[in-house]
Amino acid sequence: MSSLWERHSVPPLPPLPAPDRNGNYPAIAFGRALLARRIVAARNRAGWTQAELVRRAGVRKETIHRIEAGKNNPDESTFNKIEKAFAAEGVAV
């Protein structure tokens, strides 16, 4: 049985990609991971679940999941919806 702390702890941020042998990071993967980390951190500061962000931003749950996993970048419209939802609570992305 999990402890109360385990059930209510903040989930870890998505990992950043590893550098190649020359120390360079893949730009697109790094950008996706960085944006994912910013959105997850903002959601945690707001005290929201993914479902709450979905409801407030008016986007599909699959979209939020993929963005937060670093698999996809949001288009401008989707990012604006997410940013507006956080801004309404005074939380910066």
Burial class (CB in 10 A: 0-12, 13-18, 19+), 15: exposed
Task: Tell whether 20 is covered by a domain.
Answer: no
Residue 81 is part of which domain span? 25-88
Task: Tell whether 2 is covered by a domain.
Answer: no
Asked if residue 54 lies in contact with residue 61, where contact means CB atoms within 8 angstroms, the answer is yes
Task: Tell whether 70 is covered by a domain.
Answer: yes
In this prediction the pTM is: 0.83
Task: Tell whether 52 is covered by a domain.
Answer: yes
pLDDT for 40-49, tens place per residue?
999 999 999 9
Q: The tokens of 91 are what?
A: 């939380």
Task: Tell whether 9 is covered by a domain.
Answer: no
| Nearest-angstrom CA–CA distance, 19 and 4 | 37
Instruction: Give the ranges where 1-92 is alpha helix by DSSP (H).
Output: 4-8, 27-46, 50-57, 61-68, 76-88
Per-residue pLDDT of the chain (93 residues; tens, 9 = 90+): 444 444 445 567 888 999 999 999 999 999 999 999 999 999 999 999 999 999 999 999 999 999 999 999 999 999 999 999 999 999 999
Residue 47: which CATH number?
A: 1.10.260.40
- Domains held by the chain: number: 1
Task: Tell whether 48 is covered by a domain.
Answer: yes
Task: Tell whether 62 is covered by a domain.
Answer: yes
Task: Tell whether 39 is covered by a domain.
Answer: yes
